[in-house]
Structure 1
Amino acid sequence: MTRLLLVEDDPTSRGFLLAAAAALPAHVDVAGSVADARVLATRETYDAWLIDAHLPDGSGVGLLDQLRADGLRTPALAHTAAREPEALDALRAAGFALALSKPVSAGAWQAGIRRVTGADREPTCDMATPPHTEATLVWNTASALRAVGGNAGNAAALRDLFLGELPGTRDAVVRAAGAGESDAVRHAVHRLRAGCGFVGAERMDAAAADLHATPGSPDALNAFLAAVESTLAPR
């Protein structure tokens, strides 16, 4: 059976990516930080590493550099909330065999893993998330269902997990913004955006993207907080 290491700190993203990878089928170990991933990667043998580009104690590129310096040559797939082509190009240039934008469908995620592990020799395209074409919604149910292959139960479970994490993320953003820590604001909202995509939190995603671009803007922060409140409102 294929053996994979998934490195992802966001609970919503981790839940989806883990379930989709395990369904290949595969045995999947999980790490939520650079430090934990390095321990597992140097102790166990994997067919592929699936590494988030932004982690609480470093970057996916930095982790890959460390593992390569350790003499390990396991193929690596990067996943990121960034959707710009230049961001995906930079990850590939850093040594990742493939870079995928989140949210990614279960099928595209599994195809990416097969490609990286050599189980699928057919060329596939990197799956960046297309831009929104509909009016911005608080919850885009159709988008959420597409992300989980149409399984309404899985979509609901991921949404509940996302909502459970959202107040803590809001509070972290407020603290960082109050301290003038722009990098911390960007890190928090970048992590949030991946989860937004998996659960169809469209308005939250748009506000998080604006705050990521202008972390020192009071208007962007206020819009972010308003989006949090509308997302947390009873459905």
Structure 2
Amino acid sequence: MNLPTGDLPRILLVEDDAVSRAFLAAAAEATPARVDSADSIHAAVTLGARHRYALWLVDANLPDGRGVELLARLRADDAHAAAVAHTADTTRAAADGLIGGGFSEVLVKPLPAAAVQAAIRRALGRPPGSPVSTDLAALGPKLPVWDDAAAARALAGNAAHVATLRGLFLGELPGVVDRIERAAATGDAESISAELHKLRASCGFVGAARLAAAAQALGTGPRSDALLARFREAARDTVDQAPSPSG
């Protein structure tokens, strides 16, 4: 069903990672909805002052602050919009903090498009859509470099969306790896964690299974040269074995 743009609920999506932002925007638009995107608190507040939204879909951590801080600023002008948070942090403490900060639900990335859409429908009080598909399979020791089935599940089988997001992901990846390498060289654990936090979600959306596992290992527990080397190798394989745009 194609509704006129003016009849669609308007959603403010706030996400600084380009791959995650593209994925979440595509998923939200398919609910259907009209989506405005922002990559920072500053940009989100500007849009919030300009438009009235039915839903705010907000990242927990942004370059210029935290999602709960943004929600408080948006609430000052609108007490009624629904608010859903999204994060790659899997801990209960993170979810509790976001719920305590005023979000009605917390989505943990990566997750399939159907799960995003189901959460949007719940927040807007809409009837459920199609059943939520399964997420990326549990990480194991013999993961493929690229998991096409996982990417297809995440993007509801839309091959064009998979190709587009993979191209964006591969364009961003060298910069991400370089920032992690430089942070590791200086012992900047906070920067490493922040980069890995975003990278794991992006890997899940595009099916970069082996890199996701390496990023997970590097991001949990004591870091070592061996784990960094494993991560570096996985990143190299991800680029070298990237599927062609035509599949």
For the residue of structure 2 that corresponds to 1:64, the secondary structure is: helix
User: 1:13 deviation in Å?
Assistant: 1.2
Give the alignment's TM-score, normalised by structure 1.
0.89
Percent identity, aligned pairs only, is 46
Instruction: Report if aligned partners of 1:100, 1:128 keep a CA contact under 8 Å in 2.
Output: no
Distance of aligned partners of 1:130 and 1:94 in 2 relative to their CA distance in 1, 3 Å threshold: farther
Cα distance in 1, alignment partners of residues 29 and 157 from structure 2: 18
Per-residue deviation, 1:75: 1.7
Q: Gaps (5+ residues) in structure 1?
A: none
1:72 partner amino acid = D
Cα distance in 2, alignment partners of residues 136 and 66 from structure 1: 43
1:9-55: per-residue Cα shift (whole Å, max 9, x none)?
11111111111111222111000011111221233210010011122
Q: Secondary structure at the match of 1:6?
A: strand
Partner of 1:226: 233
Residue in 2 that maps onto 1:203: 210
Distance in 2 (CA, whole Å) between partners of 1:148 and 1:121 is 18
Separation in 2 of the partners of 1:174 and 1:230?
17
Q: State the partner residue of 2:36.
A: 29
SS in 1 for 2:56: strand
Moved more, 147-156 or 87-96: 87-96
Q: Quick one: distance in 2 between partners of 1:54 and 1:131?
A: 25
1:110 correspondence with 2:117: yes
Q: Which residue of 2 aligns with 1:177?
A: 184
1:19 alignment partner in structure 2? 26
> 2:13 aligned with 1:6, yes or no?
yes
Q: Normalised by the size of structure 2, how large is the TM-score?
A: 0.85
1:75 aligns with 2:82: yes
In structure 2, C-alpha distance between the alignment counterparts of 1:215 and 1:224, rounded to whole Å: 14
- Superposed CA RMSD: 2.4
1:61-89 Cα shifts (integer Å, max 9, x gaps): 22223333x24322211111123444333
Q: 1:229 to 1:128 in 2, by over 3 A?
A: closer
Q: How many residues align structurally?
A: 232
Distance 1:95 1:120, change over 3 A: farther
Report the AA paired with residue 206 of structure 2.
V
Offset at residue 201 of structure 1 (A):
0.7
Partner of 2:10: helix, strand, or coil? Answer: strand
